[in-house]
Structure formats: structure tokens, C-alpha cells
Amino acid sequence: MKHVLEVLPVDPAHPTAILDDLEEAIAGQRSLLPVPANDSVRTNLLKNTLKAGRDIDDRIALVVSTSGSTGTPKGAQLTPANLVASADATHQYLGGPGQWLLAMPAHHIAGIQVLVRSLIAGVEPAACDLTHGFDVAEFAYLAQELNSTGDRCYTSLTPMQLSKAMDTLQGIDALRLFDAILVGGAATSPKVLDSARKLRVKVVTTYGSSETAGGCVYDGQPIAGAQVRVRNGRIYLGGPMIAHGYRNLPEHEAFEHPGWFATSDGGTLDDDHLTVTGRLDAVIDSGGLKLHPEVLEKFMLALDGVDSACVVGAPDERLGQRIVAAYTGSATRADLLEALDELPRWQIPKDIVHLDAMPVIGPGKVDRQKVSELFA
């Protein structure tokens, strides 16, 4: 049988309004394409590239777009079994179902899964109004409301949201109310994680994507049912939460082996603990020497006065690519150069730009394409 892929507009002010639609999709009654109701350009792009309004296999509950900053967005085809397997494994890892606070855009997989977990747990989630961004005061108020239920309390945040909440006493007090805070979508600064531990904020770092129905590796360990392999430096993820290919790219090599997803990330496995080293397609080749930009970014983020960092390769006639960097924070360029002097000389950025705000795309991901354009 076939369904027609229906567009599901998600209002950032009232994201829980789609709960009934999600429940019908999980029950196998509809196939939905979540789109941002307040972004007509993105909505039209997704409708056209992911074939909204056309037939789709009725086993597909959701088509969730990837949030890459370049190229055509891909649509991961998720079944009810994918979504439920992920939600159940998350609750098992965290110690049981609980109340959820939605603070992520609900057209992205991280936000969708907060709603799915709430449906599975049989609870009504609280939700932040993200129309004008993440507001710590509202987050704190809703956290208090959840805490008053006496149940276990959970939320999901981007690293940027976590850092913003930890900047105020009100935010810190709110964060401490949660039994676990899932943090993903981008690498989290080791400095922020260390501060969270000292403040008794229970952070769980997550790794996953739309193609894996959300995070499937928590604190470096696969959740129930998930599997991790690393071959030739590339991370492969398997298990019942793996999507059934892409809606618009049915023959994509990432899903060449059923039940497995070949990521674009490099990593290492040490005693079954996964360390993500960075995107393979972002590796900078500078004069024949290869650098994962995330390695240098992690070094920069550990420095005082650096709030965010992005390292990219800019075209260079002699080197092929030269290493350049952008950052935000109170540190001066001189501060950075002094600290970076302990690195191998070839890894020191040839150009460093201070930004008032780092360009982002999707749920807290740095827009590397826009950063690259700064050095074009």
C-alpha cells in the first residue's frame, strides 16, 4: 500500500500541537514531512526536494531532513519501529520514562524525539517558545513546573543552549532540576562539560543524526540495540533505529548495507568507547598534511575567553588549502596566537577572525560554509 507524504508545519511557538499527528504517524496511519512553519524558503525547499504530496511506502512514518549547510537536503525515512526503538532505548539508558521539556526545534530529529519519547511515556511535554530563540527565563520557569510533578525530568539541548543557560544563576538552578540533559547536534566544549560537572549538572553527550532516529551513542556508548563499528577510520552505526534510506536518494551508498548507516564522520573505538574525531569531508589538506578541524577547534574551545570556534580550509595556491579560523568570545587575537604557539607550526591558523556571533544552521550546528566565505 501507499501513503501520500504530507507536509507537517511545525509552529515554533506551539510545537506540541503536532503531537496528535505524530501519534497517527507512529500508528502507521500517515506519512509526514515536518517543516518549519516560520521559514517559507526552507519549507519550499523541503517540499520540492523530498517529494511532498507524492506516494510513499506506508511503512514510513516520518521523512526527516538532514541539516547540512551545503547541497540538497536529504530526507531520512523513519518507520514507527525506528522511532519507538530509539525512544525506548533512551529511557532505558536514562533510568526510566519521565517528563520532558522540549527546547529544540520540533522539525529537527532531536526535537521530534522529545515529543516521541513523551508519547511513549504517556506524558504531556512542556515546550519552550522558540520563535525568538532560546530564552533562559522561560526554560527555568518550565523546568520548575516539570520538577513539581515529582517525576524524573529530562530535556535535550544544543551545546550553545547549555552554555547560555550556564551563564546565569537562574539557568544553573534550572539545569540542576533535570535527572539528565541530552546534549548533541554538535561537539560540546570540554570546558563547558567540565563546568557542568562542577556545577552538578547531569549532562549526557549524544551522537547520532536524522538517519539514526536521533542520538544512538550516549557518552561514547551505544544505547540498547545500537551497534558501532569503525572501518578505515569511518564510523558505521547499526541497529533498529537506522532509517530506511533517503526519500530523494534511494540508492545512496550510506545505506548500502541494510540496518547500517555509513556516517561521514571519522572516529576511534577504544574498549567499546566511541570517540568522534570529526567529519571526513571536512578534513583540511594543507601542503600534504591533513588536519581534522575539530581537533584544533577542541584546543581553541579549551582556552579562556573562547566561546565558540570554527576551523576551515581556505584555497591557497601554494598549500592547496590554508588553515584559517573564526571564533567568538572575549579573547583577543594575540591571546589565541600565544596559546596556539605550543601546537605544531603547520597547524597554527594562517588567519584568525573574531566574530560577534557564530553563524549556525540547524539545531546549533556551525555553518561551515558561511565561515568559509569569510576567507574566500
Which segments of the chain belong to CATH 3.30.300.30? 283-373
Q: Residues 224, 226, 229, 235: is their CA dihedral positive or negative?
A: negative
The CATH number of the structural domain formed by 78-275 is 3.40.50.12780
359, 371 contact by CB (below 8 A): yes
Stretch(es) of the chain classified as CATH 3.40.50.12780: 78-275
Q: Which amino acid is it at 317? A: E
pLDDT per position as a tens digit, 91-144:
999 999 999 999 999 999 999 999 999 999 999 999 999 999 999 999 999 999
Per-residue pLDDT reduced to its tens digit, 98-107: 999 999 999 9
pLDDT digits (tens, 9 = 90+) for 293-315: 988 998 999 899 999 999 999 99
Q: Classify residue 176 as exposed, middle or buried by CB count within 10 Å of its CB (0-12, 13-18, 19+).
A: middle
Query: For residues 363 and 185, is the Cβ–Cβ distance under 8 A?
Result: yes
What average pLDDT is seen over the chain? 93
32, containing H or E segment: strand 31-36
What's the Cα-to-Cα distance from 11 to each of 120, 130, 178, rounded to whole Å?
22, 9, 25
Q: Cα(274)–Cα(235) distance, rounded to whole angstroms?
A: 9
Distance CA 286, CA 322 (A): 6
Q: What is the pLDDT of residue 336?
A: 93
Q: Is the pLDDT of residue 334 over 70?
A: yes
Share of the chain above pLDDT 90, in %: 81
* Gap between the Cα atoms of 306 and 328, Å rounded: 6
Instruction: List the alpha helices (DSSP H) in 148-230.
Output: 159-165, 169-175, 190-198
**Residue 58: phi, psi to the nearest 5?**
-70, -5
CATH number belonging to domain 283-373: 3.30.300.30
Alpha-carbon distance 186 to 179, whole Å? 22
Task: Give the single-character DSSP code of 347.
Answer: G
* pLDDT tens digits for range 238-280: 999 999 999 999 889 999 998 999 999 999 999 889 999 888 8
Based on the number of CB atoms within 10 Å of its own CB, is 47 exposed (0-12), middle (13-18) or buried (19 or more)?
middle
pTM: 0.88
* Look-up of cell digits 584546543: 299
Instruction: Report whether 114 contacts 96 (CB < 8 A).
Output: no
Q: What is the pLDDT of residues 175-203, one digit of tens each?
A: 999 999 999 987 788 889 999 999 999 99
Contact 179, 95 (CB under 8 A): yes
Confidence category of residue 360, pLDDT binned at 50, 70, 90: confident
Q: Find residue 156's DSSP bridge partners.
A: 182
pLDDT exceeds 90 at position 71 = no
